[in-house]
Amino acid sequence: MSVKIPRGFKFSAVEAAIKRPGRKDLALIYSDVEATAGAVFTKNLIKAAPVKICIKKIASQKARAIIVNSGNANACTGKRGIEDANEMVRLVAKGLNIDERLVYPASTGVIGVPLPMERIRAAIPDLIGGLGKASLEELARAIMTTDTFPKYISADLKVGDETGTITAVAKGAGMINPSMATMLCFIITDLSVEKLSLSKALNEAVEQSFNRITVDGDRSTNDMVMIMANSLAGNDTITMKSKYYKDFKKVLNSITYELSKSIVKDGEGATKLIKVIVRRAPSRKDAELVARGVANSLLVKTAFYGNDANWGRIMAAIGASGAKVVEDKIEIYFNHLQVVKGGMSAGNDSTANELLKASKELNLIIDLATGKEEFSVLTCDISEDYVRINAEYRS
């Protein structure tokens, strides 16, 4: 994967044996200069210690460094969890000789287990000393938990006479559900973007990407998307009134969508990526209710895994969604193949079964035929491997 690193950003990744030895599990993202920052966090009322700390810090909309560990969520760890996360921040700030207020902690992994701080303390000097030596892929791998592949992406944007780069890294494969999904995403750019404009663009990007995916219907305690813009591209500052703001949002939306798609594709044990598209709903709320209801239905997801075009399960999920629907107007398509017409079989079940067997990606189109609103959600199937992975997660 071809990627560019924005000016002034460096990475580091080391092994601290946080959950088990044998892999890098502690990472650092650093900007040579102070950056404007924005973030979006999980809506789960149970929040991990680093999330609680970052929510307070981000009010300043300033940042220079993010320290991330995998293997341990540092969630439900009480006062000690806060103290441990703050100690990580202090150690990094001291080693980099920067203000503690500009260092943000993030964690992902097992809930309810204190961080092994003795090992983390010992690893931080090497983490700081290794700045600039890690690639984006090494950074992406260091923050993985049950992911099967690293997730990162990059794009350029020309603003006037200057060209800036937007690069992002993410992790996530399970405990993924809309309203942030266990996932982390860190976005860096050397563009100059006004702070309120940066936050607004990030929130809109998250809403159309990470908040529209689901793997298993579970919402994490640690979800976090953070962006840093350090202005080293030298462009005229992008604001909401700038003619380049729309272009910036377009690139940011594309990056977050592609990463969210990668997360669902990497869903624990998943074999199919499914885009649930609801059309002609009476309201956006009804379209969303149907899309999310179908995307989260275990019966629908297991049918897709079994290559069974069991559209009856989809109809049941539509009816249970709470949306306003008219049964005898509903049409359902697998890509362009119609399986339901007027709320009943279209007589294409056998062909649909063969289509499922041959498909790794599929559009599930639900036409309610009662309005003009649309909504879509990315989901995946559920297999035996999902049960195995999560049954053994702490072992």
Task: Specify the CATH number of the domain 9-265.
Answer: 3.60.70.12
Question: Where residue 220 falls among pLDDT bands split at 50, 70, 90?
Answer: confident
DSSP 8-state assignment for residue 350:
H
pLDDT higher than threshold 50 for residue 123: yes
- Look at residue 264 in the predicted model and tell me its pLDDT: 84
In three-state form (DSSP H/G/I as H, E/B as E, the rest C), the secondary structure along 159-223 is ECCEEEEEEEEEEECCCCCCCCCCEEEEEEECCCECHHHHHHHHHHHHHCCHHHECCCCCCCCCC
Structure confidence by residue, pLDDT tens digits, 62-91:
999 999 999 999 999 999 999 999 999 999
Question: Where residue 178 falls among pLDDT bands split at 50, 70, 90?
Answer: very low
pLDDT higher than threshold 90 for residue 14: yes
DSSP 8-state assignment for residue 59:
G
Its CATH architecture, for the domain 273-391, is: Roll (3.10)
Percent of residues, the chain, with pLDDT higher than 70: 93
pLDDT higher than threshold 70 for residue 194: yes
Residue among 153, 233, 234, 138 nearest 186 (CA): 153
| Domains in the chain: boundaries | 9-265, 273-391
Structure confidence by residue, pLDDT tens digits, 286-320:
999 999 999 999 999 999 999 999 999 999 999 99
Hey, what amino acid is at 389? I
- Look at residue 393 in the predicted model and tell me its pLDDT: 55
- Look at residue 180 in the predicted model and tell me its pLDDT: 42
The angle formed by the CA atoms of residues 146, 152 and 153, to the nearest 5 degrees, is 155
H/E run at residue 156: strand 151-159
Q: Which of 7-21, 161-175, 187-201, 232-246 has the lowest mean pLDDT?
A: 161-175
Compute the Cα dihedral for 244, 245, 247, 252 and give only its sign. positive
Active site residues: 182
**What's the pTM value of the predicted model, to 2 decimals?**
0.88
Q: Mean pLDDT in the chain?
A: 92
